[in-house]
Structure 1
């Protein structure tokens, strides 16, 4: 638990521009929430709330990330589970820091990997008709954006 608090302090100090409004559950310091704010279309018009759950065995076991905001993405399923190789059981290394996990997640959101889908239909659409995929993803992002991206900039100035 001490390690997660040290990492949280480090993340807050360095001010990651794509991970904002970080909140920690005071009843459970192993649960964090924050907003992923992607740079690339079609997701750059939105902010996506995520939850990071650290197991008691962290850093020897990887954290689990769940999207709380719906997202139209081939690597993130309808329940918000994400296919992120860096936190898979077979790839996890105890030396991996939370900021590296978050950077990997942001990279995945910005650049979907259709070859490792959790949603085969979206992976196929992304691969075969990128324009249609981007239009659908942008509309979906506008519909479920949480909070609206203009509010994220205001929140960033308050924390």
Structure 2
């Protein structure tokens, strides 16, 4: 679990403060989303306001997924909420430098469909951040934001992995307010890709991790071998 400093946690008292430059409905929506992030201690996602009087400017944070070149990294995302949110997607970019074909190594700009034409009002800032975390698991070099990085990814994958890991060491170390020793495994040893794929069906991460742990399901192979496969897993989560 990421440990957020007290000045961030104290913002919970001000989540629903009105702002002169945003609609009441947008304020309520963002406030509910921030409260949901605070309650979900297992997701490994944190969101906080930059200025407690303006909840349209946020910061998000997540860890690099295990078994990727980004493992061990801590990534801060700048989030700007448009006036007509949630009918338009939030604007997001990486504050933390990262070596990835779908993220600009210079500006942090992101190429991800749900932040563009595939956005839906049912998505949230948290679900968008989870999608960004998933993007670190599955780069798409055929649709790059950074063409040079994509070229290295395709033509010299070993060099890509080496550089990505070096950038973790150089740029993505834990912020001062993160207590690494207190952090636990929010997936309880379950492959994050399995958890995230089930979240796409609308299930809460806590529910998924609890149910899969009881059945000792840790990997995609375990899912495939479960009675009735993915349908059996979905039935398990529904009951």
Q: What's the TM-score bracket when you normalise by the shorter of the two chains? A: 0.7 to 0.9
1:141–1:113 Cα change, 3 Å: same
Post-superposition shift, 1:153? 2.9
Q: Contact 2:80–2:91 (CA<8 Å) still a contact in 1?
A: yes
Deviations 1:29-67 (A, max 9, x none): 011112220223211121011111111110111101111
Q: Deviations over 1:81-129 (max 9, x none)?
A: 11111110x2222222222211111100222111110111111211222
Indicate whether 1:79 and 2:107 are aligned: yes
Aligned-partner Cα distance in 1 for 2:86–2:48: 20
Q: Relative contact order, CA 8 A, sep 6+: which one is greater?
A: 1
Name the CA shift for 1:8/1:114 in 2 (closer, same or farther; >3 Å): same
Structure 2: gaps (5+ residues): 1-26, 185-239
Structure 1 spans left out of the alignment, 5+ residues? none
Per the normalisation by structure 1, the TM-score is 0.86
Cα root mean square deviation, aligned: 2.2
Instruction: Return the index of the structure with the highest Cα Rg.
Output: 2
- Bigger strand share: 1
2:84 matched to which residue of 1? Answer: 57
Alignment of 1:1-159 (within 5 A): 1-20=27-46, 22-24=47-49, 25-40=51-66, 41-77=68-104, 78-88=106-116, 90-147=117-174, 151=178, 153=180
Moved more, 45-54 or 8-17: 8-17
- Looking at structure 2, the residues matched to 135 and 8 of structure 1 have their Cα atoms a distance apart, in angstroms, of 36
Aligned length: 155
Q: In 1, distance between residues paired with 2:45 and 2:135?
A: 14
Aligned to 2:188: none
